[in-house]
Amino acid sequence: MTARPSIGVLAVQGDVREHLRALEGAGAVVRTVRRPAELEALDGLVIPGGESTTMDKLVRAFELYAPLRQRIADGLPVYGSCAGMIMLADRITDAPGDQQTLGGLDITVRRNAFGRQVDSFEEDIDFAGLDAPMHAVFIRAPWVEQAGPSVQVLARVAGDGTGPAAGRIVAVRQGALLATSFHPEVTGDTRVHELFVEIVRERA
């Protein structure tokens, strides 16, 4: 495998530019993905934050739905952040009837889970495998309501310690699939992107 793997960012909607920058910082050669053909030469893919209902519609309109599912089934490493986590989830608790996900991760997510008052918040979280805590930014984020036996939990929020958010799962890995409820691409901390680049290198 070349020293710099080729990683795409799904660019139909969402915070694409921030991920491109973070991935470059983490040692990848980056490109945007809008067409099925652009998926072919990739070693890995990032699905950014945004709005999963819109992203789902656009993925289907751009005829990316079937090719993306195929690449995921074939083992393409994919990292989904926030709306990207929702896209990778096998199950959503509260989706509009016509919302589909790409799936791949054996998790159930709850969209906009942290509620209206705490729509968006920040918290320092412990992330498995990293020695220093990570400052995590949550923007109308989902949480992982339930995770299957082959899903590795990488991070949870502390919240206030007692409320419904306390201890909720906010980062997971299953094989080559990685997902976070939060947005590491906006903080300048590239450790999640570095972890993803490492996963991509391992798999290539």
Quick check: 112 binds ligand GLN (CB under 6 A)?
yes
Any catalytic annotation for residue 123? no
Q: Tell which one of 8, 50, 80, 104 touches ligand GLN (CB under 6 A).
A: 50
DSSP output for 37-67: GGGTT-SEEEE-SS-HHHHHHHHHHTT-HHH
Residues paired with residue 177 on neighbouring β-strands, in sequence order: 78, 174
Contact characters 51-80, ligand GLN, x per CB under 6 A: xx----------------------------
Quick check: 29 binds ligand GLN (CB under 6 A)?
no
Q: Tell which one of 49, 77, 104, 184 touches ligand GLN (CB under 6 A).
A: 49
What is the smallest separation between the CB atom of 46 and ligand GLN, expressed in angstroms? 13
> SS3 breakdown of the chain: % helix, strand, coil, rounded to 5?
25, 30, 45
Helix (H, G, I), strand (E, B) or coil at 108: strand
Positive/negative CA dihedral, 187, 188, 191, 196: positive
CA atoms within 13 A on the CB side of 39: 24
Any catalytic annotation for residue 51? no
Quick check: 140 binds ligand GLN (CB under 6 A)?
yes
Question: DSSP secondary-structure letter at 27?
Answer: T
- Which of the ranges 22-30, 49-57, 63-71, 143-151 carries the binding residues for ligand GLN, by CB under 6 A? 49-57
Instruction: Tell me whether residue 55 or residue 176 sits nearer to ligand GLN (CB atom).
Output: 55
For residue 164, the tally of other CB atoms under 10 A from its CB is: 12
Any catalytic annotation for residue 135? no
Q: Tell which one of 29, 62, 135, 139 touches ligand GLN (CB under 6 A).
A: 139
Instruction: Tell me whether residue 83 or residue 200 sits nearer to ligand GLN (CB atom).
Output: 83
The residue among 177, 74, 65, 180 whose CA lies nearest residue 123 is 180
The single residue of 24, 122, 123, 183 carrying the catalytic annotation is 183
The answer for residues whose C-beta is within 8 angstroms of residue 7's C-beta and 6 or more apart is 23, 28, 29, 30, 31, 42, 43, 44, 45, 46, 196, 197, 200
What is the smallest separation between the CB atom of 131 and ligand GLN, expressed in angstroms? 27
Catalytic center residues: 82, 183, 185
Query: Which parts of this chain interact with ligand GLN (CB under 6 A)?
Result: 49-52, 82-83, 86, 111-112, 139-140
